[in-house]
Amino acid sequence: MPTRPYLFYALTNSLCSQCLIKVEAKIIFQDGGVYLVKHCPTHGREAVLIADDIDYYRMTQAFIKPGDMPLRFNTPIKYGCPYDCGLCPDHEQHSCLTLIELTDRCNLTCPICYADSGVDERESTRQPRRHRSLAVIEQMLDAVVANEGEPQVVQLSGGEPTLHPDFFAVMDLVKARPIKHLMINTNGLRLAQDRAFCDRLSQYMPGIEVYLQFDSFEEHALRELRGADLRAVREQAIAHLNEFNLSTTLVVTLKKGLNDHEIGKIIDFALQQRCVRGVTFQPIQVAGRLESFEPTRDRYTLTEVRRAILEQSPHFQPQDILPVPCHPDSLAMAYALKLQGKVIPLTGLFDVPTFVDLVPNSVLYEQHPELKERIFELFSTSHSPVSATASLKQLLCCLPLVPVPSSFTYENIFRIMIVQFLDAYNFDVRSVKRSCIHIVHPDGRIIPFDTYNLFYREGSAGYDMVTQMQQKPASV
């Protein structure tokens, strides 16, 4: 009797990548990879690689823990996930990080912009590109506070947020609210060109961080991703950020075969910069304006990024890059310490086999509830490096053999993060319910980043479909 050439691991719901209807999907293991296998009545069978490391994929499931609920939900359950965003009461995680888009305008026109932002009024979608008014931004901030109480991380985004004519008034609005940490998601042009802007921004420290686009050292990769040679811009922006020691995360958007060979070099560069506290790697989400992108060739998965980090950076071992419990199959993280000129992964401070056993093993967690809580606390994305300093100090104090350096500060933290957003290819309804990176809609809904760019951003591929669905009465 013949045997199936794969292992059937689980059943879920996904989306047809062509028409975005919800379809049943098998998760199978085959030839070392994890695949979503879907069937659309109209477009037929589709198999999508979602991980190239079966052991790691299995391990992510052991990191799942009960989610934290927001203080309120924003939409009712009517049409089923993902057509009820949100947050609807069926969502399983609060907002670890919430984006507020200040503007649709940008001083770049990147060929890969998920927000379809740009210089011009609008080429491809309906509404003119506008800055949001201060009144609307204030309502959006209030929506996050109403959901979260004391939001852990808010990110000002766009478009290019530093172009907003009232940017510093927005900063004041943020500072007037109980928001613990603020990130500014920027392409760096203004930071490079306007030293006085950086000086003024630095006066809002602590509790702010620049989330700086930093994809490549190579001209052709920058032209393909950003439509411009930004090498000099990046250099000048980093010089200003170092001058004011403005905490910075480098954000690398990855396209398979284009800039994935630079991962180790970017980590090394980051470690040498006074201002840089970490690097975030994000494979391209298939959404928005995506030119010169062939999904079957160019999609890149979290486990491939993790593998590339391990191959290209001598600083990290497999046990150092772990799933983040709030959304383990989409987020991975490594914390390291920069101490006396050396890079020490957090896990390097422990007996590594014990640590690796401890993290995924729920029985041991029960035996060490305090340590478990502190590890979960540390690995939550809502922990910016500032709060992580405190968590690390507490964690290290748990283990008597680990000395806590007396001069240990925020500047000693170095965080590597891998963020893989879901799109119509890798969409898994079990996973999207755990999404903890959200965007505030101008009408006050709080929507997972993943579904916002597929269904809820005006002009997105599924916008008309969901809008029409929501205009009809729900079937009983």
Residue numbers of the site for ligand SF4 (CB under 6 A)?
81-82, 84-88, 90-91, 106, 108-110, 113, 115, 117-118, 158-160, 187, 432-433, 448, 451
Tell me the closest approach of the beta carbon of residue 65 to ligand SF4, in angstroms. Answer: 17
Between 87 and 440, CB nearer to ligand SF4 = 87
Secondary structure (3-state) at 33: strand
Which among 316, 311, 264, 256 has a CA at the least distance from the CA of 286? 256
Tell me the closest approach of the beta carbon of residue 112 to ligand SF4, in angstroms. Answer: 7
Q: How far apart are CA 85 and CA 77, in angstroms?
A: 9
Tell me the closest approach of the beta carbon of residue 438 to ligand SF4, in angstroms. Answer: 9
Which among 244, 299, 306, 294 has a CA at the least distance from the CA of 273? 244
Between 33 and 448, CB nearer to ligand SF4 = 448
Q: What is the DSSP letter of 105?
A: B
Whose CB is nearest to ligand SF4?
86
**Are 415 and 388 a contacting pair, CB within 8 Å?**
yes
Tell me the closest approach of the beta carbon of residue 308 to ligand SF4, in angstroms. Answer: 22
Between 181 and 441, CB nearer to ligand SF4 = 441
Q: What is the DSSP letter of 276?
A: E
Tell me the closest approach of the beta carbon of residue 2 to ligand SF4, in angstroms. Answer: 39
Tell me the closest approach of the beta carbon of residue 197 to ligand SF4, in angstroms. Answer: 16
Q: How far apart are CA 117 and CA 329, in angstroms?
A: 29
CB-based burial label for 256 (10 Å; 0-12, 13-18, 19+)? middle
Between 23 and 85, CB nearer to ligand SF4 = 85
Secondary structure (3-state) at 22: strand
Tell me the closest approach of the beta carbon of residue 291 to ligand SF4, in angstroms. Answer: 12
Write the CA distances from 243 to 191, 338, 347, 463, integer angstroms: 12, 19, 31, 44
Reported in sequence order, the residue ranges of 316-362 that DSSP labels E, i.e. its strands, are 322-323, 331-339, 342-345
* Count of residues making up the chain: 476
Between 308 and 466, CB nearer to ligand SF4 = 466
Between 33 and 159, CB nearer to ligand SF4 = 159
Between 113 and 322, CB nearer to ligand SF4 = 113
Q: How far apart are CA 387 and CA 105, in angstroms?
A: 32
